[in-house]
Structure 1
Amino acid sequence: MSTTPQRLMLTRTDGSPISALVVDDEAVLAEMVSMALRYEGWTVTTAGDGASAIAAARECRPDIVILDVMLPDLSGLEVLLRLRKLNPALPVLMLTAKDSVEDRIAGLTAGGDDYVTKPFSIEEVVLRLRALLRRAGITTDDGDSQLVVGDLVLDEDSHEVARDGESVTLTSTEFELLRFLMHNPKRVLSKAQILDRVWDYDFGGRSNIVELYISYLRRKIDDGREPMIHTVRGAGYVLKPAR
């Protein structure tokens, strides 16, 4: 039985790699996003300002763009308008440090397809990019959104979960916790790692929130079945396929 989540690599309809352009003047953030996309099997080009982004788009003809609104030379919205002239159908995910309705409306009105506010989860950015590519018809990936560990199946797009073919209803936090566990099967995850990934902040050392949500998951995933979620004393928790 498989011990790793089964997930297909996303490619163009002709089987060639997805080409992405990452535009952000924060070098560390741009590299984090780029690394995640390369792990997906994509080819990645980066640019640290608007002029470089436009030049890169002309040269590499990306399938999708991740574009920061705040750039040192041109406004991200101006860059977006120029990218639209090069390719009106180009999917663009906007990044911003500003969390306001006005910024979101401005970006979407200018032609952005989706919007993420900093700080963000890298995994969430990847999921949104994959959804934009599917919506644009650039790729075909039947079943791509599914994670499978043993008889447990999680669909990252529809947020549906099933164990041995039986539907399981989860809250949004329970879903995020299970998704993190399923992305790391047979790997022991500490409470600190789970807090950082699922809640994106700590609770001043009150890691009992993790124990509480693990217990919620166990009632829904393991109740009446052979357990998949295990406690490793002094280390954390691990999800393994049932034998």
Structure 2
Amino acid sequence: MALPKDNRTVLIVGGGLAVVAAVAAALVFSGGRGKPTEPPPASQGGLTIDLAEAPSLEPARELRCFVNGQFVGQATLADCAQRNGVATSALDVGLDATGALAAAPTAAFAPPPQLPANPAVEPAPTDHGTEVVESGRPAPAAATACLRHTGSEWRSIGNGMSMGACVQALYAGTCLRPGEAEYGRWGDTSLRLVPRRVEQSSDNSRFRTLAQQDRNCQFPELGR
């Protein structure tokens, strides 16, 4: 039986719309397949951790352990501390030269150098360029020198600056890896940069934290 002309028109239009819908759906589901897809960040070299933000490790998590400056294998933080004969808090944790999470004793790769032979101070000049000492009174305060240890010698950074300014001049923008350390002097105070913090010592042996570094390797609490 022949369909009325109007019904044939409806079927033709409906069929056309169905074809268009099918093509559109295919484009939606196949969209982007021809484009190169980027792998997730975790597959691009593994987890990356900012050195200035040491992670809080799970007790069972293993990391690269260094003893006496040598890599001794994977170990938990507690096991690595035991192998080094130190407390867990005495380990620096961060990324080593391979980019992997590692732990090593503080300043394990760079013990304190010998102190400079000459006093790290210079007399503060008066308005006339000479030092004036009144009877029964001490000389004016010396201008404290700021020194950097380059690995073989001490070099002057400047005089008359505060301790905070000396630290900024020495270490602002510098981040270290686990076990590394850099040394400086502010007057008769030893300064030591280690991962995530700078430390101070009056005897060049026992160091305590002076300021923490932020994720940009800066010391915001010391100011400028």
Greater share of helix = 1
Give TM-score scaled by structure 2 length: 0.22
Give TM-score scaled by structure 1 length: 0.21
Bigger relative contact order (CA 8 A; separation at least 6) = 1
Greater share of strand = 2
For the pair shown, the structure with the greater C-alpha radius of gyration is 2
